[in-house]
Amino acid sequence: MLLAPHTMAGISTYTLYKEEPSFSDPEFFHIEDIKSRARLFNWSIGAHSHPKMYQLVYVRSGRVQSRIDGGGYDTEGPCIFIIPPSVVHEFEFERDTTLGYVITVSRVLLADDQLSRSPVVHDELLSSAQTIQLEGLTQDLQFFDQIIEQLASEYQRNELGKQQLFEYLLFALLIKLARHLQLNGGQRSYDHYAKRYQLLSELIEKYYRQHNTCQFYAAELCTTTIGLNRACKAMSGKSVGDLIQDRLALEAQRMLIYSSAPISLIAYELGFSDPAYFSRFFKRRTGDAPSIFREHREHREHREHREQD
C-alpha cells in the first residue's frame, strides 16, 4: 500500500509507475496481501495519496480504522474501500488478524476503451472514495474471493496473456461492485457537490504550495467562491481555505518527520517566504512549533526502537 515514493511530488505521494506509463509496463497494475505489507509498518499505514492510481482495499476479515479525505471510519471486514487518485487516506489494521488484498491500478489502464465503455464503472464507482460493506452477502463474498485470488495468482506468474486476463478479471470485479452499489443502496451520492469536491481536491494537490486563494480555485472550476465553499462544507464540513491549510500542514509534518532539512528550508519548499510566519502557521494548525513537533517525534521513535530491542 505504501509504494515507491515520487520524490519530486513530495513525501505524501507514492507511485508504482513511470510518468507516462504504457500498457507494456510491468507495474501497470499491482496486487499484494494486506498482512505482509502492513507488518512492515507496524500495521499502521500513514496518510498518503497516489496521484495517478486507483486503489481497491479488500478487507476480508479483521477490524480497520481509516481516515479518507478527512473522514474517519471504524470498520469490520468483510468490506472494500474504493480510493480514486489523489485522495489522501490512511489505515490502521487490527494486528496479525487482518486478511485481504490491496489492488493498485494506473488510471491510464482504466481509461482504456474496453474498460471505459461502462459509464457505471467510471461515473458511479470510481469518481469518489467510498466504503462498501459486504457482511452477510455470501454469494458476493465468494465471487470477490475467487476473482481477487485469481488476480493475485496472475500477478505472480508471467504467463501468456497475463495483462489481458488481469484486465478482464479487474473489469468483472468493478462491474460486480457497481451492481452491488445499485442493488443494495450503498452508493454514495455522486451529485454536483461530490464531483466539484473531487475536482477541487485534485487541484489543491497540484497547487497547494502556491498558496492560491479560493478565488483561484473557483475560477479554475468555473464557479463562484460561494458555490465552491458550499460544496466543500457539504462534503467535508470545511471551507476551501481550511482544506488548503490542512494540506500544507500535513505536508509540513511529513517533511519534519521524514527529512532532516532545516525548518527554514522546509518553509521555503512549501511556499512560505518567511520561516517565522511558517512557524506561526504550523503552531496554529498543530498546536506545536515545528522544532517541538520534530523533537517529540524523534523522542517517540527512539523510545519505540528501544522497546522493540
Per the CB < 8 A criterion, the answer to whether 3 and 30 are in contact is: yes
Q: What is the pLDDT of residue 280?
A: 94
Closest to 279 (Cα-Cα) out of 269, 295, 266? 266
User: Scanning the structure block, which residue is given the C-alpha cell 505489507?
Assistant: 37
DSSP class of residue 108 equals H
Residue with the bigger pLDDT between 108 and 209: it is 209
- Smallest CA-to-CA distance from 198 within 52, 307, 86 is with 86
Residue 24 has φ and ψ, to the nearest 5°, of -90, 0
- The secondary structure of residue 188, as a DSSP letter, is P
Q: Which pTM does this prediction carry?
A: 0.54
CATH class for the domain made up of 4-184? mainly beta
For CATH 2.60.120.280, list the domain ranges present in the chain. Answer: 4-184
Q: Is residue 45's pLDDT more than 90?
A: no
Q: Residue 47 burial by CB count (10 A; 0-12/13-18/19+): exposed, middle or buried?
A: middle
| Residue ranges of the chain assigned to CATH 1.10.10.60 | 203-306
Mean pLDDT for the chain overall = 79
Query: In this structure, which topology does domain 203-306 adopt according to CATH?
Result: Arc Repressor Mutant, subunit A (1.10.10)
What's the CA angle centered on 196, arms 207 and 90, to 5 degrees? 65
pLDDT at 21 > cutoff 50: no
